[in-house]
A and B are shown apart, each in its own frame.
Chain A
Amino acid sequence: MKTKLQQFKESYFLYSFRRDMVAMASFVVLVIFLGIAFAAPWISPMNPYDSANIDIMNSEIPPMWMDGGSKEFPLGTDNQGRDMLSTMFYGLRTSIIIGLGAVAIQAAIGIVLGLMAGYLGGKTDAILMRLADIQFSFPYLMVAIFMSAIFQVVFGAGSFEQLAIPLLTIIIGLSNWPMFARTIRASVMGEKNKEYVEAARVIGLPQRIIMFRHILPNALTSVMVISTIQVANAVMSEAALSFLGLGMPVTKPSLGSLIRAGQEYFFSGSWWITVLPGLWLVLFVLVINLLGDWLRDVLNPKLYKG
């Protein structure tokens, strides 16, 4: 008998990964990004979310290789006097927490509803899918924008700021579940009439067990591919919301709010406040997308189009 590890070592998955330089490089960069995000509180020179550490006198200091730069702030400071490097580490951490959390919510809703719709069929299917259709006909970013806008107007910007991270996670999670639900449903529809499911039903296994133990594993490749793409989407949504002023507040800037804050200083010469977090964000999303493309090519699941 081969162990799971041996099986994995000999798999086509690992083989094609090793052959693909882009996939490997993206993976390495992604791991570094995740490491930085995780370790941000320990490796950052300062805590940019704590106003006690910020001195407005230090605002708009350029990166250390430019005239006027200082070693204390290797990548310069923003318009409030925060260390750019620390803020980018913390911003990345925030973006990743929200991105992963939102995708977890999307996947949970999507998997449960998709399994129900696909397996139970009939009225449940019709109602759930109409619901998904309705939400799907609106862009998820629009839905997210409306949700946070209404929340902000109704409860005031102050309470929004305090709850920003969990709120954004929930909002982005709720705004994009139909993608998961539809894909899961499609693979359930394909699986459910196969003989092994029939057999499980004949033995008298309860529906819940058939759905989760027997059908779901077959949909997992699709879930994996979508999750990757959705994490990228969620991070982009968070950045967009923050840029619009509907996301992370300036007191706890994410990458999107940093770019927003830096925008007006950009044209007067302080380019680093916008450009550095911008590059940071683009690089992060790019490696996720590259990995997602690669996963899609290798696993080639039947994804829902459009």
Chain B
Amino acid sequence: MIAFIIRRFLQAVVVMLVISLVVFAIKKEFGDPVRDLVGERVTPEERQQIADKMGLNDPFLVQYGRFVKNAVTKGDLGRSFLYNKPNLEVIITHAPATIELVLGTAFIIIVLSLPLGVYCALKPRSWLSRFTMSFSTLGVSMPVFLTAILLIYLFAVHWQILPSYGRGETVDLFGNGIWMTGLLTIDGLKHLILPCISLSTLMLPLFIRLIRSEMMEVLETEYIKYAWAKGLSPRRVWLVHAFKNTLLPVITVFGVQIGIMFAFTLLTELVFQWPGMGFMFLEAVNRADLSLLIAYLVVVAASFVVVNTVVDILYGFINPTVRIAGTK
């Protein structure tokens, strides 16, 4: 198991190095760190001096080495001229909003997709299954932003029962001003409902279908037939024997899809004016803050790599076959 974790970890490091190289090349070619630091009103001579001082005229690999070293040891990902703060700080203060959005959505997806997917597999001919399956095709074809706009129209404008924009009332989770959470106030939770629903319409159909098809496949296996032959109850056969085997592939996909969800938060954050990382990203694009853009790219890539690695390791713990393969 330890060998497996180490191997997986090394893979993650290699991936991060490749990504950082690409990112650094873009930054080096197109970025303007002098402007990021002192703004645009400096003479060419001053620029040259500052550039020398910052080591911008050193060989590429030396600069790349320094970039990685600063990023790893000091968490230094450059400065944002837009916010006039270190990039990492800007990203960290925007992260909680996005993370809470993703958590809320993941919650909705898990709570709904597991029972619905299992039900559709067990009773494929019932009207609820048919309805769920047709509805899921529609859900897949519906862009998130359109769902979001329609939800706002219905719940916020027409019926006026839920708020439409922003995060609402937030409280400081750790008392240090970094994690402002909306999960602890009624108003904050109310503001979460619509964004989370619209984001979940994207993944929910996918998971219901995935769980359904995996479960149906598992139900056909010999070991399930054997479980029946042992005289186990339907509850036990379905929920203990079939369900766990269904979950294994689903967990892997879930890890990947959480990542995809981060991409789609951009759309929901834009519609709901949600002050998260996606909103910050679009701001950075509009104001051409390449430095922040690239820092964001690094952070997103890193979190993806971490999530994927954790999911793989988690999978190893649940699936005994992988665990053994890892120790050998």
Q: Spell out A's residues near B (CB within 8 Å).
A: 134, 137-139, 141-142, 145-146, 149-150, 152-154, 156, 232, 236, 239-240, 243-246, 256, 259-260, 263, 266-267, 271, 274, 278, 281-282, 285-286, 288-290, 293, 305-306
Contacts and interface: CB of A to CB of B under 8 A. Distances in A.
Interface in B137-152: 137-138, 140-146, 149-150, 152
Nearest to B145: A243
B281 interface: yes
B253 interface: yes
B281 A282 contact: no
Given A259-B146, A306-B252, A267 B282 contact: no
Given A137-B15, A139-B259, A282-B142, A305 B286 contact: no
A145 B271 CA distance: 16
A150 to B, nearest CB: 6
Q: Is the interface of A mostly helix, strand, loop or mixed?
A: helix
Nearest to B164: A267
Nearest to B140: A289
Contact of B305 (A137, A256, A306): A137
Secondary structure call for the B interface = helix
Contacts of B26: 150, 154
| Most chain A CB neighbours (cut-off 10 Å) among B145, B157, B271 | B145
Given A150-B26, A244-B266, A245-B286, A289 B145 contact: no
B62 interface: no
B234 interface: no
Interface of B: 15, 18-19, 26, 30, 137-138, 140-146, 149-150, 152-153, 157, 249, 252-253, 256, 259-260, 262-264, 266-267, 270-271, 281-282, 284-286, 288-290, 293, 297, 300-301, 304-305, 308
A282 to B, nearest CB: 6
A259 B143 CA distance: 11
B290 A282 contact: no
B274 to A, nearest CB: 14
Given A149-B293, A152-B285, A239-B143, A305 B249 contact: yes
A288 B144 CA distance: 18
Smallest CB-CB A-B distances: 6 pairs:
A139-B260, A142-B263, A286-B141, A285-B141, A139-B263, A154-B30
B149 A141 contact: no
B300 to A, nearest CB: 7
Contacts of B145: 240, 243, 259-260
Contact of A274 (B19, B149, B270, B286): B149
Contacts of B157: 267
B143 A240 contact: yes
Contact of A142 (B144, B288, B300): B300
Nearest to A144: B263
22 contacts: A137-B15, A138-B301, A139-B259, A139-B263, A142-B262, A142-B263, A142-B300, A149-B285, A149-B293, A150-B26, A153-B288, A156-B288, A236-B143, A244-B267, A259-B143, A259-B146, A267-B152, A278-B150, A281-B146, A286-B137, A290-B137, A306-B252
